[in-house]
């Protein structure tokens, strides 16, 4: 059955593992799709600010030669942005969409530090990222032309006074802004808008993070901005450009990974479905077969575990199991064994029922005989038609008492038989086997009614403590000894011995009498075998030997019989010893 458990565990574990692999891959795909969505949302809000890190992540290097994915170059071209990649020596190893003659082919350390700190290079806003994941670090710069700051500086010099636009210059500046769809706001250090030029609906104040949001997340606002701080007053001049900018398309970030995992998940799901269907077919048919088998066995049809039609499904012509049923090889063999045992048990039940009826008939006869005697003497005494002498009355009384004792012993045997069957006899004492058997043998030696046989006892040279109920242990020995006395001719020699074998103490009851044939030896301890032959002159109900065996079993012992016709009988009893001193 261990092989069956292993095979079933393998099949279902494989299916369970496949399902979990599919679930894990599906979870990964979902997670990556979510990450891609969030990244694209962030790019939409922050482009080109948030693009530089993604560009650096997806750029590949081969021998210090950089290559950007085509989707990024197309996007940068549409947005009017340029990219430069600088190696650790300050040399530009990659340039894309760079304005002619406006950028360098190499940079010094202070120039790169100034670009990093100010975020500007000449008229360009520059976004930077240092990638140190490769063997050699690379410095990425993404620039976009930002003439607004230079324009503001020029206008402050031409039209400014005390941090504001001179009243005389307002009309001229408004005319310049009219055709460009731009407007200017001047914000003092207290975040109040102190002057607005060109805006249709002037505002009064900015919240602390509002200007930062316009600069860092231009996609969330209807304009982009340039700013310049007037040094004397601290007022900030802000140039708003409401020109429409092209929308940033979704970037295929992690697309290859997502596609690979999606195909893998679909393949795993397909394999799992095929495997599950095959499992259903493989396990379903045998289970239906076993269900029908159970139903037939429930109806008592043990002699036909499988009908001929089902046998052809299960077995080949050479008697071997077909492939689909080999997984259940041990189960099918177990069913055949169980069916054979149940059929045998059914035959045994019928036989025992018949034997019980015969036994009850014999017991009724055994009770009827003494009852008839007692009843007859009762009628004689009741009638008053006869005069009995004192000796006759004494003889009649002895006969009635003898028959009553016989019936009481018969009932006592019945009671003991059922007590032993229900394990209701207590074992609360420890006996010393040598001394117990010696006393039992002495009783028979000193019994004047038993003079036609000889008794002897050979004891072990050390003490043999055994946990036992002394009353029932004595009854067991009496039954065995009396069985040897009753069923052997005068002159028989009966000898009892004790000994030790390992952790067990043993007793033998041996005689040199007539012995037993094989059938008698085989049925000697059957409760319903006897015992009911009315021609026998022995007393009792034929339960003596079955009671003896039940007492042995109750003491967790064993009993064996060795006998041949004409060569005597030997009964060997074995019991576990107690580890106590007596």
Given pLDDT bands bounded at 50, 70 and 90, which one contains residue 265?
confident
Best mean pLDDT range from 260-264, 387-391, 418-422, 438-442 = 438-442
Mean per-residue pLDDT for 164-184? 84
pLDDT at 146 over 50: yes
Strand 92-96 relative to strand 236-241: parallel, antiparallel, unpaired? unpaired
Question: Which range is least confidently modeled, 74-78, 196-200, 250-254, 409-413?
Answer: 250-254
Q: Which residue has the tokens 């299916």?
A: 15
Same fold, 51-145 and 148-241: yes
Q: Which residue has the tokens 């003991």?
A: 416
Best mean pLDDT range from 390-404, 491-505, 542-556 = 491-505
Strand 182-187 relative to strand 193-197: parallel, antiparallel, unpaired? antiparallel
Given pLDDT bands bounded at 50, 70 and 90, which one contains residue 38?
low
> So what's the pLDDT on residue 9?
64
Question: Which range is least confidently modeled, 164-173, 340-349, 484-493, 547-556?
Answer: 340-349
pLDDT at 328 over 60: yes
Strand 120-121 relative to strand 124-131: parallel, antiparallel, unpaired? antiparallel
More confident call, 536 vs 489: 489
pTM value?
A: 0.38
Given pLDDT bands bounded at 50, 70 and 90, which one contains residue 361?
low
2-46 vs 255-298: helix crossing angle, rounded to 10: 150
pLDDT at 193 over 60: yes
51-145, which class in CATH? alpha beta
pLDDT at 15 over 80: no
pLDDT at 524 over 80: yes
Are 225 and 217 contacting, i.e. CB atoms less than 8 angstroms apart? no
Q: Which residue has the tokens 């040598």?
A: 434
Mean per-residue pLDDT for 223-227? 78
Domain boundaries along the sequence of the chain:
51-145, 148-241, 425-576
Determine whether domain 148-241 maps to CATH 2.60.120. no
Are 77 and 97 contacting, i.e. CB atoms less than 8 angstroms apart? yes
Helix then strand count (H, E) for the chain reads 15, 20
Mean per-residue pLDDT for 397-403? 85
pLDDT at 537 over 50: no
Residues 6+ apart with CB under 8 A from 241: 148, 180, 181, 182, 223, 224, 225, 226
Mean per-residue pLDDT for 236-248? 70
117-142 pLDDT, tens digit each: 888 888 788 989 998 887 789 999 99
More confident call, 79 vs 251: 79
Whole-number Cα distances in Å, 280 to 15, 143, 286, 323, 402: 12, 63, 10, 15, 75
> So what's the pLDDT on residue 12?
64
Average model confidence (pLDDT) across the chain: 79
Two structure tokens written together for 169:
């210059």
pLDDT at 532 over 50: no
Cβ neighbours, 10 Å, residue 29: 20
Cα 237 from Cα 196, distance rounded (Å): 10
SS3 305: coil
Tell me which residue of 22, 72, 39 sits closest to 254, measured CA to CA.
Answer: 39
> So what's the pLDDT on residue 495?
96
Cα 139 from Cα 387, distance rounded (Å): 143
Are 482 and 494 contacting, i.e. CB atoms less than 8 angstroms apart? no
Strand 160-161 relative to strand 138-145: parallel, antiparallel, unpaired? unpaired
Tell me which residue of 428, 436, 427, 519 sits closest to 477, measured CA to CA.
Answer: 436
H or E segment to which residue 569 belongs: strand 569-576
CATH domain 425-576 topology: Heat Shock Protein 90 (3.30.565)
Q: What percent of the chain shows pLDDT beyond 70?
A: 78
Given pLDDT bands bounded at 50, 70 and 90, which one contains residue 436?
very high
Mean per-residue pLDDT for 72-80? 84
Cα 85 from Cα 211, distance rounded (Å): 30
Question: Which range is least confidently modeled, 131-135, 313-317, 453-457?
Answer: 313-317
Tell me which residue of 246, 268, 216, 234 sits closest to 22, measured CA to CA.
Answer: 268
Two structure tokens written together for 223:
């304009």
Mean per-residue pLDDT for 329-353? 77
Cα 460 from Cα 467, distance rounded (Å): 18
Q: Diameter of the chain by CA atoms?
A: 171
Q: What percent of the chain shows pLDDT beyond 90?
A: 18
Extract the runs of DSSP E, i.e. beta strands, from 77-137.
81-86, 92-96, 120-121, 124-131
Rg (Cα) of the chain, in Å, rounded?
55
CA neighbours within 13 Å on the CB side: how many for 547?
27
Beta bridge partners of 54: none
Beta bridge partners of 227: 238
> So what's the pLDDT on residue 582?
43
Are 268 and 21 contacting, i.e. CB atoms less than 8 angstroms apart? yes
Are 151 and 226 contacting, i.e. CB atoms less than 8 angstroms apart? yes
End-to-end Cα distance, the chain? 48
């Amino acid at each position: 059955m261990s092989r069956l458990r292993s095979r079933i565990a393998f099949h279902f574990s494989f299916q369970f593992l496949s399902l979990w692999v599919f679930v894990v891959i599906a979870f990964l795909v979902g997670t990556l799709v979510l990450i891609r969505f969030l990244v694209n949302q962030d790019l939409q809000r922050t482009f080109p600010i948030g693009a530089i890190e993604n560009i650096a992540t997806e750029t590949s290097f081969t021998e210090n030669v950089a290559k950007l994915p085509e989707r990024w170059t197309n996007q940068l071209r549409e947005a009017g942005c340029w990219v430069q990649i600088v190696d650790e020596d300050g040399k530009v190893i990659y340039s894309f969409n760079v304005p002619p003659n406006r950028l360098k082919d190499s940079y010094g350390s202070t120039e790169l530090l100034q670009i990093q700190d100010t975020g500007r290079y000449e008229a360009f806003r520059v976004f930077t990222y240092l990638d140190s994941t490769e063997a050699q670090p690379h410095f990425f710069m993404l620039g976009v032309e930002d003439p607004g700051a230079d324009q503001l500086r020029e206008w402050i010099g031409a039209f400014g006074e005390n941090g504001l636009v001179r009243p005389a210059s307002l009309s001229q500046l408004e005319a310049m802004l009219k055709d460009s769809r731009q407007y200017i706001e001047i914000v003092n250090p207290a975040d109040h808008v102190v002057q607005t030029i060109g805006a249709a609906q002037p505002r009064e104040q900015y919240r602390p993070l509002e200007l930062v949001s316009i600069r860092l997340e231009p996609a969330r606002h209807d304009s982009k901005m340039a700013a310049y701080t007037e040094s004397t007053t601290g007022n900030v001049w802000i140039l708003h450009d409401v020109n429409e900018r092209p929308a940033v398309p979704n970037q295929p970030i992690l697309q290859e990974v997502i596609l690979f995992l999606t195909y893998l998940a679909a393949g795993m799901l397909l394999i799992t479905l095929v495997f599950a269907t095959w499992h259903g077919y493989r396990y379903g048919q045998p289970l239906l077969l076993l269900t029908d088998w159970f139903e037939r066995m429930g109806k008592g049809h043990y002699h036909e575990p499988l009908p001929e039609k089902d046998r052809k499904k299960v077995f080949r012509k050479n008697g071997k199991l077909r492939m689909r049923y080999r997984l259940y090889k041990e189960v099918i063999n177990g069913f055949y064994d169980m069916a054979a045992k149940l059929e045998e048990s059914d035959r045994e039940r019928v036989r025992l029922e018949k034997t019980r009826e015969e036994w009850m008939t014999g017991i009724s006869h055994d009770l009827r005989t003494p009852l008839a005697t007692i009843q007859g003497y009762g009628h004689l005494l009741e009638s008053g038609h006869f005069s009995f002498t004192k000796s006759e009355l004494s003889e009649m009384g002895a006969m009635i008492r003898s028959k009553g004792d016989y019936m009481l012993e018969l009932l006592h045997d019945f009671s003991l038989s059922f007590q032993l069957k229900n394990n209701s006899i207590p074992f609360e004492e420890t006996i010393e086997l040598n001394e117990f058997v010696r006393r039992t043998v002495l009783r028979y030696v000193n019994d004047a009614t038993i003079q036609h046989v000889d008794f002897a006892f050979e004891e072990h040279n050390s003490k043999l403590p055994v946990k036992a109920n002394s009353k029932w242990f004595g009854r067991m020995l009496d039954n065995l000894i009396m069985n040897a006395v009753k069923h052997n001719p005068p002159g028989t020699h009966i000898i009892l011995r004790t000994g030790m074998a390992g952790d067990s103490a043993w007793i033998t009851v041996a005689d040199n009498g007539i012995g037993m044939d094989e059938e008698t030896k085989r049925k000697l301890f059957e409760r319903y075998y006897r015992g009911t032959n009315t021609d026998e002159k022995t007393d009792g109900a034929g339960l003596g030997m079955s009671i003896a065996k039940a007492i042995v079993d109750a003491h967790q012992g064993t009993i064996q019989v060795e006998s041949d016709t004409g060569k005597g009988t030997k009964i060997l009893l074995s019991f576990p010893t107690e580890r106590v001193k007596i």
